[in-house]
Amino acid sequence: MRLLGVFLVLLAAPLLWADVDWCACDPQDPKTLEARECSLTREALSQPEQVRVFFLKDINPRKPNRLLALPRVVRKGAYTLRSLTPQERTELWNAAIEKARELWGDHWGIAFNGDEVRTQCQPHLHIGKLIEGVETPNFVEVSGPAGIPVPEAGQGLWVHPQGGKLHVHLGELLTESVLLR
């Protein structure tokens, strides 16, 4: 029983450091960008200014089939989809969906993790193949990227195509688990 307890603590340990509310990334202060949680912010700053959205392969070796979609715009500290303007959010969703369709046809999914489980300050969408059978009744249906709602403060969401529309699953924290690793 004690071994099980130790195992569960070790399993949950990464989540203890995942909350990015304390993020200190400041694009005006390069020293702050040295922190691990600022690595995607550094990547965003290295992109040409005319780029609005860019893609990176997920560097986690346990997620070889994943891409990340990121906005080029950077802001001080942690920020989320809520911090992006409506135009920036729509551009991000449009680009991510286009890339997802290119890679996975109609079997794609896109996930945005909630604040408590994020390990990076720069907002990013996880793009991958949707795992079969993960559909839940907790979704709203929208016609396109502009209709994707902004998650409540701190929450994540995941999106996938369904019959010419999009299903947007809200109210979750760890959402990328619906995508094939």
* Total domains present in the chain: 1
pLDDT of residue 79: 84
Q: CA nearest 173: which of 111, 88, 102, 100?
A: 111
Burial environment of residue 51 by CB neighbours within 10 A (0 to 12, 13 to 18, 19 or more): exposed
Supply the range of the domain harboring residue 121.
19-178
Residue 7: inside a domain, yes or no?
no
Q: CA nearest 81: which of 67, 92, 72, 66?
A: 92
Residue 80: inside a domain, yes or no?
yes
* Residue type (1 letter), 151: P
Q: Token pair of 99, please?
A: 């890339």
Helical H segments across the chain, by residue range: 2-16, 39-46, 86-104
pLDDT of residue 15: 38
DSSP state of 106: T
* Residue type (1 letter), 30: P
Tell me the pLDDT band of 159, cut-offs 50, 70 and 90: very high
Residue 9: inside a domain, yes or no?
no
Residue 28: inside a domain, yes or no?
yes
Residue 14: inside a domain, yes or no?
no
Residue 6: inside a domain, yes or no?
no
- Is the predicted pLDDT of residue 31 greater than 90, yes or no? yes
Predicted model pTM? 0.88
- Is the predicted pLDDT of residue 69 greater than 80, yes or no? yes
DSSP state of 52: S
Task: Note the Cα 130 to chain centre separation in Å.
Answer: 14
Strands of 165-172's sheet in order across: 53-57, 67-71, 125-129, 108-112, 156-162, 165-172, 139-142
Q: Give me the CATH number covering residue 54.
A: 3.30.428
Residue 158: inside a domain, yes or no?
yes
Q: What is the CA radius of gyration of the chain?
A: 16
* Residue type (1 letter), 127: I
Residue 86: inside a domain, yes or no?
yes
Q: What is the pLDDT of residues 93-108, one digit of tens each?
A: 999 999 999 999 999 9
For the ranges 2-6, 37-41, 45-49, 123-127, the lowest mean pLDDT is seen at 2-6
